[in-house]
Amino acid sequence: MAVMQLVGYQLPLKHTHKEEELHIVLPCTSVVSSSCHSDFAGYLCYQCVVVQPLHKLHVVSPEEDFVHCGSLSRMQTIGKLMKVYITRRIPPEGMKILSSATGVCEVSMWDSDEPVPRTELLKGVQGAHGLLCMLSDKIDAELLDAAGPNLKVISTMSVGFDHLVLDAIKKRGIRVGYTPDVLTDATAELTVALLLATARRLPEGVEAVKNGDWTSWKPLMLCGYGLSGSTVGVIGLGRIGMAIARRLMPFGVKRLLYSGRTTKADAAEVSGEFVPLDTLVSESDFIVVSCSLTPETQGLCDKAFFSKMKNTAVFINSSRGAVVNQEDLYEALTSGQIAAAGLDVTTPEPLPTNHPLLTLNNCVVLPHIGSATYSTRGVMAALSARNLLEGLQGGEMPSELAF
């Protein structure tokens, strides 16, 4: 048995570590190992109490069943390695978990910061038991067919799942892991940053300073709209919507309105008033869209929507680009129907550099950085790795998508 296939095993194994002698290894000796990406792979022999390089580990009885003793609650006999494909280079916090995996897996990865090309992806997933993907990978019937019948778990490093064709996945009995909650703080923070930058015209200010348009302090230069005394409307008061509302309250928001399918129990914490969408649209000074993208919310923010808004109102979207009709938004911004807009998500992504929205002073466009903090991306990577491993072993995922 080749050494690399032993990566991720928990013993007992019998091994030779001196050339002549046979050392019996005690149960649950960990293999201190990592994936092919690390510099050192080795094992700890409890008998010798020393770490040895992996190449010295020889399996004496290859037919023996290896006992996986990762979780105390169950034991499982694993006959052979499972295949995992990762569609992108992920932060070290995630790689570390996969490489010291307690399951049996052999990891292949598109080792780049850029998305894996479709043809490469379709090849790479062949025979995979588990797939760890990004929101840029469309997981549809074509891909699932290319992967084949082994595929039992898909773990996405995102909270959004509109890139997953759920009925095709469900039909094949594949489980799905995702990353809610861990990115709530970073995304809410970015949404508030975007709202403030848009309402207080920071990008215009920065440009004016660089271009020499700033000649002296002027009473009405770059005046914007403040939150103090305002009405804020949140469309979709879910985890992220609530986190946004909590962060806005101390800015002196007078009323917090929200709209969605149902009332929310924790809305009371922010004195949230559940209102019909039309009421929210017409009465809000700031509208924040934080609902998920579904057939119902697709194109929700269109000409009719914008026409009902106040002409002093600011519109913010950090959910998914397709919730907004971008042509209608452009019209609304240029005709003075609304005051300004801030978008962290667009259709498509990236937005082409010649897109009309990028020409407007009163439109701030960010390149989908909602969860982009070092610590959050590391936590997302770790969580998606753990979701994947649990899914491979038939265990309980930390965050499984119910669908």
Q: Which stretch binds other proteins (CB under 8 A): 39-47, 214-222, 271-279, 394-402?
A: 214-222
Separation of alpha carbons 137 and 150, rounded Å: 19
The verdict on 133 binding other proteins (CB under 8 A) reads: no
The verdict on 46 binding other proteins (CB under 8 A) reads: no
Catalytic residues: 368
Burial class (CB in 10 A: 0-12, 13-18, 19+), 247: middle
The correct pick among 14, 23, 200, 310 for binding other proteins (CB under 8 A) is 200
The verdict on 358 binding other proteins (CB under 8 A) reads: yes
The verdict on 255 binding other proteins (CB under 8 A) reads: no
The verdict on 119 binding other proteins (CB under 8 A) reads: no
The verdict on 51 binding other proteins (CB under 8 A) reads: no
- Tokens 């969408």 — which residue? 277
The correct pick among 224, 321, 395, 398 for binding other proteins (CB under 8 A) is 224
Query: Could you report how far apart the first and last alpha carbons of the chain are, in Å?
Result: 40
The verdict on 372 binding other proteins (CB under 8 A) reads: yes
- Tokens 């919730």 — which residue? 323
Chain-centroid distance of CA 374 in Å reads: 13
| Residue 252 neighbours by CB under 8 Å, 6+ apart | 226, 227, 228, 229, 230
Q: Which stretch binds other proteins (CB under 8 A): 61-69, 86-94, 168-176, 273-281?
A: 86-94
The verdict on 374 binding other proteins (CB under 8 A) reads: yes
Furthest CA-CA distance within the chain: 88
The C-alpha R_g of the chain, in whole angstroms, comes to 26
Separation of alpha carbons 255 and 192, rounded Å: 17
The correct pick among 62, 79, 173, 250 for binding other proteins (CB under 8 A) is 250
Beta carbon nearer to other proteins, 321 or 398: 321
Residue type, 378: G
The verdict on 237 binding other proteins (CB under 8 A) reads: no
**Residue 258 C-beta: closest distance to other proteins, Å:** 17
| Interface mask toward other proteins for 307-346; x: CB under 8 A | -----------------------------x--xx------
Beta carbon nearer to other proteins, 365 or 392: 365
The correct pick among 17, 68, 129, 201 for binding other proteins (CB under 8 A) is 201
Buried (b) or exposed (e) across 307-329, using 16+ Cβ within 10 A?
ebbbeebbbbbbbbbbbbbbebb
In the window 179-198, what residues touch other proteins (CB under 8 A)? 185-186, 189-190, 192-194, 196-197
| Residue 167 neighbours by CB under 8 Å, 6+ apart | none
Beta carbon nearer to other proteins, 157 or 176: 157
Chain-centroid distance of CA 372 in Å reads: 10
**Residue 352 C-beta: closest distance to other proteins, Å:** 9
- Tokens 């300004």 — which residue? 340
